[in-house]
Structure 1
Amino acid sequence: MQLFSCPFCGSRDETEFVFGAEAGKTRPEPAAEVSADTWGRYLHFADNPRGPTREIWQHVTCGEFFLMERDTVSHAVAATVDLRGDKA
């Protein structure tokens, strides 16, 4: 079991969290002009970096979204930040 720190609720079990998206991934716009190939790449392909990364997560208990800075190799969480910029 791993503990994640929700910027709103504090330390909680990892089972209370769901992955949202890569941080900084830009949605292709305008949607009406985006090709099916481009839209498919946006939806189904991720960079999946090895090492430090920044991701959007949701704490399902409180419903809030936040930024998590973590290492994909060691699973160490460096920081969790609410999307308004306050670190937990």
Structure 2
Amino acid sequence: MNQTIAAPTAQQQGLHPDTYATISLFCALIGLGLPAVVFGHIAYAKNGTRTGNMMAVFGFVAGYIELAFTLLFLISFATS
């Protein structure tokens, strides 16, 4: 039995940009601001589909808003 193993395609070797955008959006929706920002910027830099870019932008913008609220909360908690 001689079996040939095919080399992985480019899509199989790494995550698709839309996957990063989905991770970013999911992290933003559950309140994880920093991963949302990181994965959103990775997805946007890889220039996926238009839907992926919109999800990435929403993910990192929501992540930045969450980080800002967290910072404001920590500052107000420290001063009181």
- TM-score higher than 0.5: no
Flag the structure with higher strand content: 1
Normalised TM-score (structure 2): 0.28
User: Rg larger in 1 or in 2?
Assistant: 2
Flag the structure with higher helix content: 2
Normalised TM-score (structure 1): 0.26
